[in-house]
Amino acid sequence: MAAPARTDTVLVPFLVGTLGIALFSAMDAVMKGLALGIGAFNAVFWRMLVGLALSTILYAASRPARPTRAAMRFHVIRGIVGAFMALTFFWGIARMPLAEAVALTFVAPLVSLYLAAAILDEPVGKQAVLASLVGFAGVLLIVATRTGDAGGRDWWGVASVLTSAMLYAYNIILMRQQALVAKPLEIAFYQYVVVVATLAVAAPFLATPPAAGHWPNLFVAAILALISLMLLAWAYARAEAHRLAPVEYTALVWAAIFGFLVFAEPVRLATLAGAALIVAGCILAARTSAHPEPAIEAMP
């Protein structure tokens, strides 16, 4: 399928992408509450089932054409990786402040530099290495915070979120291509299909039907995620991903707001400083002659 015509300005895709990130951050807050209440696997699995039902209705109504082989390849790979990425992320944010978790995920574009070198044979220059060191310093600053506090640091939570970020880095290699060979509704529908199929393997052992009180939040999370995914796919199909990179970093602002309003989580200065170092590393990496482009959120 030919790429959609690009607009002459990045303003509209930028605003649409920013709204998409805001909705994703709201979904993260809802999902954190669900993960605390019914566990990460149940929160992800049942939300995905709801999302699959909603996306099926919308996708069928659009009278879609059969996906191309290239598009199906991206759908399957991204869906499998995305299932594990979602589980590790939501399991992790149930064990640490939302803003800190989101800040740690910002390392994904830096990790993708090395994945691009391994997968796409792209060179990694000195500036990219420097960018990685700056970003790594930011990670150390964030994870070192609260280590000496009475509550301590849940290192399993940190490791889980960083694992999710590593998986997200792999998606960065694929996401721009996917947005150019498939429409937003198609991306959303097949993402849900593959993720649900992947999680269904473990469902007989781990899934438990949620209590009635959790279903409204499951529907809210699914609707927020579906709308966000389509908004971001629309935006990234109409503007270069590296021009929309600042949109990704607004997630920290939204996470801080929702974390404070919903969970009364204060935002520490060290978290902001660490996030600033990570973002600085990403900007430095983006100025290299060859770099992978940050991509749209990887989970529906």
Determine which of 87-96, 153-162, 242-251 has the lowest per-residue pLDDT on average.
242-251
Give me the residue label for tokens 């420097």: 130
Coil/strand/helix, residue 16: helix
Q: Residue 287 pLDDT more than 80?
A: no
Q: Residue 119 pLDDT more than 90?
A: no
How far is residue 122's CA from residue 115's CA, in Å, rounded to a whole number? 9
Residue 238 CA, chain-centre distance (Å), reads: 19
How far is residue 80's CA from residue 141's CA, in Å, rounded to a whole number? 32
CB-based contact 75:178 (threshold 8 Å): yes
Phi-psi region of 22 (alpha: psi -120 to 50; beta: other; left: phi over 0): alpha
How far is residue 268's CA from residue 251's CA, in Å, rounded to a whole number? 16
pLDDT at 92: 93
Q: Which amino acid is at 166?
A: M
**pLDDT, tens digit, for every residue of 23-38?**
999 999 999 999 999 9
- Per-residue burial over 220-232, b if 16 or more Cβ lie within 10 Å, else e, is bbbebbbbbbbbb
**pLDDT, tens digit, for every residue of 166-223?**
898 887 677 766 767 888 788 888 989 999 999 999 999 999 999 999 999 999 999 9
CA torsion sign for 142, 146, 147, 153 is: negative
State the average pLDDT for the chain.
81
**What does pTM read for this prediction?**
0.80
For 124, phi then psi, to 5°, come to -110, 105
Determine which of 19-28, 143-152, 236-245 has the lowest per-residue pLDDT on average.
143-152
pLDDT at 150: 46
CB-based contact 42:206 (threshold 8 Å): yes
Q: What is the DSSP letter of 242?
A: G
CB-based contact 236:176 (threshold 8 Å): yes
- Using a pLDDT cut of 90, give the percent of the chain over it: 31
- Per-residue burial over 81-120, b if 16 or more Cβ lie within 10 Å, else e, is bbbebbbbbbbbbbbbbbbbbbbbbbbbbbbbbbbbeeee
Mean pLDDT along residues 251-271: 86
Q: Residue 205 burial by CB count (10 A; 0-12/13-18/19+): exposed, middle or buried?
A: exposed
Q: Residue 272 pLDDT more than 70?
A: yes
